[in-house]
Amino acid sequence: MNAEHGITINQVSRSFTGRGTLVQALSDVSLDCPEGSFTALIGPSGCGKSTLLRLALGLDAPDSGQVLISGMTPQAAAKSGKTGVAFQDAALMPWRTVEDNILLPLDVLGRKRSAYHDEVAKLVKLVGLDGFEKALPGELSGGMRQRAAIARALVTRPEILFLDEPFGALDQILRRQMNVELQRIWMESNATTLLVTHGIDEAIFLADRVVVMQSKPGRISRIIDVPFDRPRTPDLFAHPTFHALEKEIAEALDGH
Amino acid sequence: MNAEHGITINQVSRSFTGRGTLVQALSDVSLDCPEGSFTALIGPSGCGKSTLLRLALGLDAPDSGQVLISGMTPQAAAKSGKTGVAFQDAALMPWRTVEDNILLPLDVLGRKRSAYHDEVAKLVKLVGLDGFEKALPGELSGGMRQRAAIARALVTRPEILFLDEPFGALDQILRRQMNVELQRIWMESNATTLLVTHGIDEAIFLADRVVVMQSKPGRISRIIDVPFDRPRTPDLFAHPTFHALEKEIAEALDGH
Amino acid sequence: ASPFAFQASWINDAEFTGYFVAMDKGYYAEEGLDLSYASGGPDVIPESTIIAGKADLTLTTPDTTIKAIAEQGAPFKIIGTQYQKNPIGIVSLASNPIKSPEDLIGKTLAVPPVNVISVEAMLKISGVDRSKINIVPYAYDPTPLIKGEIDASLDFTTNVPFTIKQAGADATSFLLYDFGFTIFNDTVVVTEETLKSKRKELVSFLRASRKGWEENLKDTTVYPPKFADSWFKGTGRSIENELFFNEAQKSLIEAEGGIFSMSEEAIEANIKALAEVGIAAKREYFDTSLLEEI
Amino acid sequence: MATKTPAAKTESVLSLRQKLARYSTVRNWLLLLVFWEIIGQLRLVADGALPAPSAILARMWVDWADYPPHIWATLEGAGAGFLIGNAVAIAAGVLFATFPLTQRLARGVNVALFALPPIAVSPILVITFSDMTPRIILAAIGCYFVTMSATVTGIQQTDRRIVDVVHAYGGRQWKTLIYAQMRSAIPAILSGLRVAAPNAVLGSILAEFGGGGRFGLGVYLIGSLGRGEPDRLWGIGLSATVIAGLAYLLFSLIATRLTGTSKAVTVPASPPAPKAEKSMVLTLALGTVSFALPFLLWWLMLAIMGTPAMIAKTPVGLFDYLFMMPSSLVSLGKLATALGQTLPMTMVGMAVGLSFAFALALCSVLYTAIIRGFMPVALVTQTMPLVALTPLLVLILGRGPSLILWITVSVTFFPAFVTMAQGLSMVSRAAIEVPKAYGAGPFRQLWLVSIPASLPYLFAATRLAVPRALLGVMIAEWLATGKGLGNLLNQSRGYLDYGMIWSVSVVSVLISVLFYQIVVAIEQRVLSKRGMAPAQ
Ligand SMILES: Nc1ncnc2c1ncn2[C@@H]1O[C@H](COP(=O)(O)OP(=O)(O)OP(=O)(O)O)[C@@H](O)[C@H]1O
Ligand SMILES: Nc1ncnc2c1ncn2[C@@H]1O[C@H](COP(=O)(O)OP(=O)(O)OP(=O)(O)O)[C@@H](O)[C@H]1O
Ligand SMILES: Cc1ncc(C[n+]2csc(CCO)c2C)c(N)n1
Ligand SMILES: [Mg+2]
Ligand SMILES: [Mg+2]
Contact call for C and B: 3+ CB–CB distances under 8 Å = no
SS3 A93: coil
Q: How far apart are the CA of D38 and the centre of ligand 2, in A?
A: 65
The Cα–Cα gap between B136 and D366 comes to: 27
CB-based contacts of B37, cutoff 8 Å, min separation 6: B6, B192, B193, B208, B209
pLDDT given at position D261: 87
Q: How far apart are the CA of B63 and the centre of ligand 2, in A?
A: 15
Residue C90 Cα distances to C63, C105, C139, C145, C175, angstroms:
17, 13, 14, 11, 6
The Cα–Cα gap between D512 and D533 comes to: 23
Say if CB D183 and CB B100 are below 8 A apart.
no
Mean pLDDT computed over A95-116: 94
Which residues, numbered 161 to 220 in chain D, qualify as contacts with chain C under a Cβ-Cβ cut-off of 8 Å?
A: 206-215, 219-220
pLDDT given at position B216: 87
**Domain map of chain A by residue range?**
1-75+200-256
The Cα–Cα gap between A40 and A223 comes to: 10
pLDDT given at position D536: 58
Residues of chain A above pLDDT 70, percent: 97
Return the minimum-mean-pLDDT range out of B86-100, C275-289, D200-214, D425-439. D200-214
The reply to whether A140 touches chain D by the CB within 8 Å rule is yes
CB of A27 closer than 6 angstroms to any ligand 1 atom: no
The reply to whether A44 touches chain B by the CB within 8 Å rule is yes
Q: Which amino acid belongs to residue B66?
A: Q
Residues of chain C above pLDDT 70, percent: 100
pLDDT given at position B17: 86
pLDDT given at position D274: 64
Domains and CATH numbers, chain D: 44-272 (1.10.3720.10), 313-536 (1.10.3720.10)
Instruction: Indicate which of D158, D434, D443 best probes the interface with A, i.e. most A CBs within 10 Å of its own CB.
Output: D434
SS3 A193: strand
pLDDT of D520 above 60: yes
pLDDT given at position D37: 94
- Helix or strand run (H / E) with residue A53: helix A49-56
Mean pLDDT computed over C205-217: 96
pLDDT given at position B4: 63
The ligand minimizing its distance to the Cα of D223 is 3
The Cα–Cα gap between B213 and B196 comes to: 11
The Cα–Cα gap between A153 and A140 comes to: 18
The reply to whether A154 touches chain D by the CB within 8 Å rule is no
Nearest to D269 among A54, A94, A108 (CB): A94
Listed ranges A192-196, D22-26, D322-326; the one with the highest mean pLDDT:
A192-196
pLDDT of D1 above 80: no
For residue C88, the 8-state DSSP code is E
Q: Which amino acid belongs to residue C164?
A: I
Q: How confident is the model at residue D16 (pLDDT cuts 50, 70, 90)?
A: low
CB pair distance less than 8 Å for D439 and A140: no
pLDDT tens-digit readout, C63-76: 999 999 998 899 99
Say if CB C291 and CB C210 are below 8 A apart.
no
Considering only CB atoms, which residues of chain D are within 8 Å of chain A?
1-5, 7, 10-11, 266-272, 430-431, 433-440, 444, 448-449, 452-453, 455, 530-532
Considering the domain B1-75+200-256 in this protein, what is its CATH number? 3.40.50.300
CB pair distance less than 8 Å for A172 and B144: no
pLDDT tens-digit readout, D370-392: 888 889 999 999 999 998 899 89
The Cα–Cα gap between C188 and C276 comes to: 23
SS3 for D247-297 is HHHHHHHHHHHHHHHHCCCCCCCCCCCCCCCCCHHHHHHHHHHHHHHHHHH
pLDDT of D10 above 70: no
Q: Are strands A192-196 and A209-214 parallel, antiparallel or unpaired?
A: unpaired
pLDDT tens-digit readout, A223-241: 999 999 888 988 888 889 9
ipTM at complex level: 0.91
Contact call for C and A: 3+ CB–CB distances under 8 Å = no
pLDDT given at position D213: 79
Question: Of C58, C57, C54, C78, which Cα lies nearest the Cα of C67?
Answer: C78
CB pair distance less than 8 Å for B141 and A199: no
Q: How confident is the model at residue D13 (pLDDT cuts 50, 70, 90)?
A: very low
Please name the residue ranges forming H helices in chain B.
49-56, 74-79, 98-109, 117-126, 142-154, 172-189, 200-206, 240-254
Provide the residue-wise pLDDT of chain B in tens; the chain has 256 residues: 344 678 999 999 999 987 768 889 999 999 999 999 999 999 999 999 999 999 999 999 999 999 999 999 999 999 999 999 999 999 999 999 999 999 999 999 999 999 999 999 999 999 999 999 999 999 999 999 999 999 999 999 999 999 999 998 888 888 888 999 999 999 988 899 999 999 999 999 999 999 999 988 999 999 999 999 888 988 888 889 999 999 999 889 887 6
Q: Is the pTM of this model over 0.90?
A: yes
Set of chain D residues whose Cβ sits within 8 Å of the Cβ of C44: 123, 126, 210-212
For the sheet containing B209-214, what is the strand order? B83-86, B160-164, B192-196, B38-42, B209-214, B219-225
The ligand minimizing its distance to the Cα of B213 is 2
Q: How far apart are the CA of B41 and the centre of ligand 1, in A?
A: 30
pLDDT given at position C273: 92
pLDDT tens-digit readout, C82-133: 999 999 999 999 999 999 999 999 999 999 988 888 898 899 999 999 999 9
For the sheet containing B7-17, what is the strand order? B22-33, B7-17, B64-69
